[in-house]
C-alpha cells in the first residue's frame, strides 16, 4: 500500500464501534461531580485525543504533548501550530496544523510523514482546525482560517480514501469542532462566531445536504466572569448526547440528540477548547483550554462522569 493510502486503514470494525449509540448511563448532576486538574502546559491547549495504549495527547503552541492518566507527560512532537488530532488503526496520527496550512500525517513516535491534505480544488488550505473520522475510510475537517463574523469564508471538507479533498460547505463564520454521528449519516459542526451548532445530512462520500441549525447556544454572562461564547471542540457519548467545549464560558455544555441543553459542567479552563472521553472505561471526560485568555497558560482537566463515551478510536489494524 502506498503512503497516500496507508493512513486510511481504519475502516474495519469502525462501523461496529459506532453502533453503540444507546444504553448510556444517566448524566450526573453538575453539582455531584468534581472537575479535576490533570496537568498544566505553558500555553493555551486543545486537540485532546487517546491512542490504543491509553496515552493521551494535547496540542499547545508548536507542540503536541503525550500524557498518562496520572498526569505524567512529555513532549511528543513539534509541528508548528497543531490543533485537532485523531489516531488511526495502524497507530499513526492525523493532525490539523494551521501554520503548515495542512492536515499532517505523523507516525506513532511523532515523526511527520507528510501532508494528507493541503489544497482543495486547486485552492490551498488556510488553517485546518479539527477533524472527525468517517467509517467509510476518509475524514471530515474544518478550515476556519481567516474567517470571522464579518468575513465568513470558513469551509468544511472531506478527504476520501483516494486522498482527494472535497469541499463540503463554505461561507461559514469560523467553523470549528466537528463530529460525525454513529452510522455516518449526520455531521455536526460548531460555527463559533455565530454561537451555534450546524447539522448536515450525509448523502454520500464528499456529499452532504443543506446546512441546518441543530442548536443555538447560551450567551455569555459577564456578571459570572464569562468573557465569550464560542462553541469549540465537541464529542459524543454512547447515548448520542453532544458535549460542547464553550470557549469563554468555562463550561462544557451537553445537548441531547434533539439539541436541547441538558447540562452544564465546569470546564476548568475559562477558554474551554476541546473535549474527549478517555480512561480505561471510556467514561471520563477530558477537557482542554486556557486558564485565562489564549495568551496565558493552558490546562488539561477531567470529570469522572461515569457515562460511557462514544468510542472513536478505530480498532488496531488486523484485530
Binding site residue list for substrate: 129
182-193: b or e for each residue (b if 16 or more CB lie within 10 Å)?
Answer: bebebbbbbbbb
Which residues participate in the annotated binding site?
129, 176, 232
Q: Which residues are marked as active site? A: 232
Which residues participate in the annotated binding site for a divalent metal cation?
176, 232
Amino acid at each position: 500500500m502506498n503512503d497516500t493510502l496507508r493512513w486510511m486503514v481504519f475502516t474495519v470494525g469502525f462501523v461496529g464501534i459506532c453502533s453503540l449509540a444507546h444504553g448510556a448511563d444517566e448524566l450526573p448532576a453538575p453539582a455531584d461531580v468534581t472537575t479535576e486538574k490533570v496537568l498544566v502546559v505553558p500555553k493555551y491547549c486543545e486537540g485532546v485525543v487517546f491512542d490504543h495504549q491509553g496515552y493521551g495527547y494535547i496540542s499547545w503552541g508548536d507542540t503536541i504533548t503525550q500524557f498518562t492518566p496520572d498526569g505524567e507527560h512529555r513532549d511528543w512532537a513539534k509541528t508548528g501550530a497543531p490543533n485537532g488530532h485523531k489516531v488511526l488503526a495502524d497507530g499513526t496520527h492525523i493532525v490539523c496544523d494551521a501554520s503548515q496550512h495542512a492536515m499532517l500525517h505523523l507516525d506513532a513516535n511523532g515523526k511527520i510523514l507528510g501532508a494528507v491534505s493541503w489544497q482543495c480544488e486547486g485552492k490551498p488550505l488556510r488553517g485546518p482546525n479539527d477533524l472527525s473520522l468517517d467509517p467509510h475510510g476518509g475524514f471530515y475537517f474544518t478550515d476556519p482560517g481567516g474567517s470571522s463574523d464579518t468575513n465568513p469564508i470558513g469551509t468544511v471538507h472531506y478527504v476520501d480514501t483516494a486522498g482527494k479533498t472535497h469541499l463540503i460547505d463554505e461561507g461559514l463564520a469560523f467553523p470549528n469542532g466537528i463530529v460525525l454521528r454513529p452510522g455516518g449519516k449526520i455531521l455536526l459542526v460548531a460555527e463559533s462566531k455565530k454561537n451555534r451548532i450546524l447539522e448536515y445530512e450525509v448523502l454520500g462520500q464528499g456529499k452532504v445536504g443543506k446546512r441546518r441549525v441543530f442548536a443555538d447556544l447560551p450567551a455569555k454572562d459577564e456578571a459570572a466572569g464569562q468573557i465569550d461564547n464560542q462553541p469549540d471542540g465537541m464529542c459524543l457519548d454512547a447515548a448520542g448526547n453532544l458535549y460542547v467545549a464553550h470557549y469563554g464560558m468555562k463550561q462544557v455544555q451537553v445537548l441531547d440528540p434533539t439539541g436541547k441543553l441538558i447540562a452544564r459542567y465546569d470546564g476548568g479552563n475559562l477558554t474551554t477548547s476541546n473535549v474527549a472521553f478517555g480512561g480505561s472505561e471510556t467514561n471520563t471526560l477530558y477537557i482542554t483550554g486556557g486558564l485565562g485568555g489564549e495568551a496565558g497558560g493552558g490546562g488539561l482537566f477531567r470529570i469522572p462522569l461515569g457515562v460511557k463515551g462514544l468510542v472513536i478510536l478505530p480498532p488496531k489494524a488486523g484485530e
